[in-house]
Structure 1
Amino acid sequence: MKISNEEKGQANTDLSYRALALQVTCDAVNQLTDTVEVRTQMMATIQRISQQIRASINFIGKDTRLVVLPEYFLTGFPMGESIEEWKSKACIEMDGLEYEALGKVAQDNNIFLSGNVYELDPHFPEIYFQTCFLIDPSGKVVLRYRRLNSMFAPTPHDVWDKYLDIYGIEGVFPVAKTEIGNIGLIASEEILYPEIARSLMLRGAEILLHSSSEVASPQLTQKHIGRLARSIENMAYVISANSAGMSNIPIPMASTDGSSAIIDYRGLILAEAGSGESMVANGEIDLAALRRARRRPGMGNIISRQRLELYAPIYNDISIYPANSLSEKKAERSHFIQTQLEVIDSLTRRGLIK
């Protein structure tokens, strides 16, 4: 019997599956000095995660279609290394062996796999970007989002004009329209920047994948509140994977450990992990329910009640952090704090802060 286009559309809206925010330990590479050692450790990390994903899916259920990994799960973050040193030590190529290995994990488990890494881009050989990625079940990278707000690392905004020329605004706020829903990516503390999640929603995102490595607490943290707010504001699922601590660095290991979570489009926490390596943060993604909620009239339909023209003049008339700050400068860690100090001084002189 042939299925009509209308029936096909209805079948698509009935889609549901399980997602997993896999909380894994980050083995940092900071104390390694040999590049071969670093690459060997990265591949060992991927192998370890591959085994954890397979075992978790066997336990949770074969309908697990999406797995999210923590922020910089392969390497940790720079601790004193210069931009150039970190670029050589810990950053991976856009078509490198690490992505190939991660693609194999996605293929072997028939999942969409997301995470966050430090990545090189041949268009910008002097710097690197912190990149969230999404790999589909064929093993192909179908989505890249480069972190736009970072305290001590280069971002697309720092080379804004050239970045837009190459990738366009679609490459700044990309959304992948996949068989498991429309997916956007958010990096770490950017969950505190509502404009990013809103921009992704306005480009169609239904599910926001949040790779993080953050302080967790039994108390509400800023990022915890941010995740709930972004889900409510955008009527979107938020799948947030935190690290299960960081090894091989001087900072106490469990400082970034716990609270990976699945949050639905109403801001309800469906599952949340405690501390340590964990598959507890898994839950059902019910796209049919989300899509029904987005089509339902009433006060709760926040998306349909947006009046964006109200805010556009304010955003257009005020500039705070300058674009293109690295377009003609060498990227150094000191540049970022100096730029922030200049911004604070400018805001003070303009009377925006006292």
Structure 2
Amino acid sequence: MANTPLQLLALAVALSTAGAHATPLVEKDGSYAQVPLEKDKVVIKVVQNLTRNLQDFPTIEQGLAHNLQQMTDLTERACSEGRKPDFILFNEFPLTGYSDGKREEKLKFTIQIPGAETEALGKLAKQCDTYIIFGSYARDAAWPGHILSLNTVIGRDGEVAEKFWKTRNVKNYQPDMEIPTTTIENVYDKYVAMYGEEALFPVLRTEYGNIAVSTVQRDTMVFAAYAMRGVEIMFRTSTLFSKLDVMATASFNNYYSAMSNITFPADSPWAKMGGGSIIVNPRGEILAEDPSNDEAIIEAEIDIAALRKGRKIPDYPMDVTRPVLAQYQPAFPLNHLDVPVDQLPDNGAEMKVLMDKVSRWKTTE
């Protein structure tokens, strides 16, 4: 978390030009748009479970059927045990898992949203009268050749209420590869042209509070931007995560947050990083947690009405930090994946080559 002050300051500069934009993104008086609450307190349930990769099944259809049935069973369990949920949060890849291969092959291990899977989950959401939230690798005809990482919210009516693109990928995650999925950052101009600036940090205003969903890790600028847009509950999906990140981010931005992590086989080298899903309050205090690497469903009731009473968006130090951040140059430029389909990197190694090529922070030998 050592770079948190710098990230927050960079966000201040980035948003300081909002007044020049056609669409108002942040209210100048600290208020934010809401819809009336249906009730004062809501129940969040977070599912953590082992996800199987589609690549490991004889056919993709069998894999999707297996993983969808697992989600179905866990949703029905969440709806029948304990308090009735208002939100059920799954992890980053409950339907697809993570599969290796070149781009053309990996595109086969994605889903379309909306599609058959969201239709089936929509029936469950309607039956349980709950929102269902999950992440997935996805494909979209509007983005041929691109592998998207989307977080989907299915509403109580069974319909897809919102799709949240991943804002950006972590960089320098491994020395010989970079994540090749497409994010808002690496197709920024085209994304804004297609969906508008409001879609950079979309907020779903529900009768249970203002929500957003993200798979981003350790990136306080992104989560502060969501706070400025009026988020009250920040849902997060993960494959590995830092508990400190979730707790600190909720505290910095004065909102509730929940993280769903996957579990790993007991003999996996990643087993110690599995599970640990949490729900935290706006002070960063843990309301519910399962520290194990086992399948589990945790729950917490949150007082959304009490949070909303008299609440303003956080007060960030924009003016005093502007001179420093106006000179800050990110290592990687926007739009580095806005290239012809046949030029998209085929895998993580090729993505590493591309990122090294476009980096503004190149080191000289």
Same fold (TM over 0.5): yes
1:307 maps to 2:331: no
Name segments (4+ residues, structure 1) moved above 6 Å.
none
- Paired with 1:240 and 1:75, the residues of 2 have a C-alpha distance of 19
- 1:21 is aligned to 46
RMSD of equivalent CA atoms: 2.6
Letter matched to residue 309 of structure 1: D
Letter matched to residue 331 of structure 2: I
- 1:182 is aligned to 210
Q: Give 1:126 shift.
A: 1.5
Number of corresponding residues: 317
Alignment of 1:70-109 (within 5 A): 70-79=91-100, 81-88=101-108, 90-109=109-128
- 2:66 is aligned to 44
Letter matched to residue 65 of structure 1: D
Letter matched to residue 124 of structure 1: W
Q: Give 1:110 shift.
A: 0.8
Q: Secondary structure at the match of 1:306?
A: coil
Unaligned runs of 5+ in 1: 1-8, 216-222, 296-302
Q: Secondary structure at the match of 2:259?
A: strand
- Paired with 2:247 and 2:362, the residues of 1 have a C-alpha distance of 30
Aligned match for 1:288, one of 298, 305, 313? 305
Q: Give 1:272 shift.
A: 0.3
1:322 maps to 2:333: yes
**CA gap 1:70/1:304 in 2 versus in 1, 3 angstroms:** closer
- Paired with 2:265 and 2:321, the residues of 1 have a C-alpha distance of 41
Is the contact between residue 28 and residue 246 of structure 1 (CA under 8 Å) also seen in structure 2? no
- 2:252 is aligned to 233
Unaligned runs of 5+ in 2: 1-33, 170-177
**CA gap 1:53/1:94 in 2 versus in 1, 3 angstroms:** closer
Aligned match for 2:55, one of 17, 30, 35? 30
- Paired with 1:227 and 1:313, the residues of 2 have a C-alpha distance of 29
- 1:201 is aligned to 227
Q: Secondary structure at the match of 2:301?
A: strand
- 1:160 is aligned to 188
Q: Secondary structure at the match of 2:217?
A: helix
**CA gap 1:276/1:108 in 2 versus in 1, 3 angstroms:** same
- Paired with 1:272 and 1:340, the residues of 2 have a C-alpha distance of 37
Q: Give 1:41 shift.
A: 2.1
Letter matched to residue 276 of structure 1: D
- 1:299 is aligned to none
**CA gap 1:344/1:136 in 2 versus in 1, 3 angstroms:** same
For residues 77-112 of structure 1, give each alpha carbon's deviation from its aligned partner in whole angstroms, at most 9, with x where no partner exists. Answer: 233x11221112x11112211111121221121111
- 2:31 is aligned to none
- Paired with 2:209 and 2:305, the residues of 1 have a C-alpha distance of 10
Aligned match for 1:272, one of 289, 295, 299? 289
Q: Secondary structure at the match of 1:131?
A: strand
- Paired with 1:76 and 1:40, the residues of 2 have a C-alpha distance of 13
Letter matched to residue 77 of structure 1: Y
- 2:81 is aligned to 59
Is the contact between residue 235 and residue 294 of structure 1 (CA under 8 Å) also seen in structure 2? no
- Paired with 2:265 and 2:143, the residues of 1 have a C-alpha distance of 29
- Paired with 2:354 and 2:153, the residues of 1 have a C-alpha distance of 32
- 2:164 is aligned to 145
- Paired with 1:251 and 1:130, the residues of 2 have a C-alpha distance of 24
Is the contact between residue 36 and residue 207 of structure 2 (CA under 8 Å) also seen in structure 1? no
For residues 226-245 of structure 1, give each alpha carbon's deviation from its aligned partner in whole angstroms, at most 9, with x where no partner exists. Answer: 10111001101111111122
Q: Give 1:114 shift.
A: 0.5
- Paired with 1:182 and 1:114, the residues of 2 have a C-alpha distance of 14
Letter matched to residue 56 of structure 2: Q
Q: Secondary structure at the match of 2:361?
A: helix
- Paired with 2:131 and 2:323, the residues of 1 have a C-alpha distance of 39
For residues 101-153 of structure 1, give each alpha carbon's deviation from its aligned partner in whole angstroms, at most 9, with x where no partner exists. Answer: 12122112111110100111211111121001111111111121111322412
- 1:218 is aligned to none
Letter matched to residue 165 of structure 1: A
Q: Secondary structure at the match of 1:19?
A: strand
Q: TM-score, normalised by structure 1?
A: 0.82
